[in-house]
């Protein structure tokens, strides 16, 4: 299996349980790695793989329209998109809130799922 990765994608999203987090979107960093069919490389055919530009656009669009209480739920939602709609056989996601706590650069979750 081959893998495509998207590292440190900045996304503004509505996520959190605190009033200040519900009032306005906050910056997240998302890193995503997903499996793709080997045939894409063998045939040099974009139609046989998952187009990372489409993934980036879709994730940004979905997160702009929804609110999640937990990063875990947001992560499972994105993984569901990748597995069910994009057909990825395996997905790993890392999501971090930036500067959310004093003296802490990032706080986040990492989730890995496969078929």
Average confidence score pLDDT of the chain: 94
Q: Three-state SS string across the chain, please?
A: CEEEEEEEEEEEEEECCCHHHHHCCEEEEEEEEEEECCHHHHHCCHHHCCCHHHHHHHHHHHHHHCEECCHHHHHHHHHHHHHHHCCCCEEEEEEEEEEEECCEEEEEEEEEEEC
What mean pLDDT do residues 13-40 have? 92
pLDDT of residue 93: 98
pLDDT of residue 33: 98
pLDDT digits (tens, 9 = 90+) for 27-86: 999 999 999 988 878 888 889 899 999 999 999 999 999 999 999 999 999 999 999 999
* Domains by residue range for the chain, with CATH: 2-114 (3.30.1130.10)
pLDDT of residue 41: 81
């Amino acid at each position: 299996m081959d893998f495509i990765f998207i590292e440190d994608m900045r996304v503004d999203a509505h996520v959190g349980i605190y009033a200040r987090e519900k009032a306005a979107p906050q910056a997240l960093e998302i890193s995503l790695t997903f499996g793709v069919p080997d045939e894409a490389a063998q045939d040099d055919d974009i139609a046989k793989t998952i187009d990372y530009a489409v993934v980036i656009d879709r994730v940004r669009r979905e997160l702009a329209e929804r609110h999640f209480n937990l990063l875990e739920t947001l992560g499972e939602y994105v993984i569901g998109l990748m597995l069910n709609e994009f057909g990825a056989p395996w997905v790993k996601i890392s999501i971090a809130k930036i500067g959310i706590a004093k003296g802490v650069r990032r706080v986040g979750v990492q989730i890995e799922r496969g078929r």
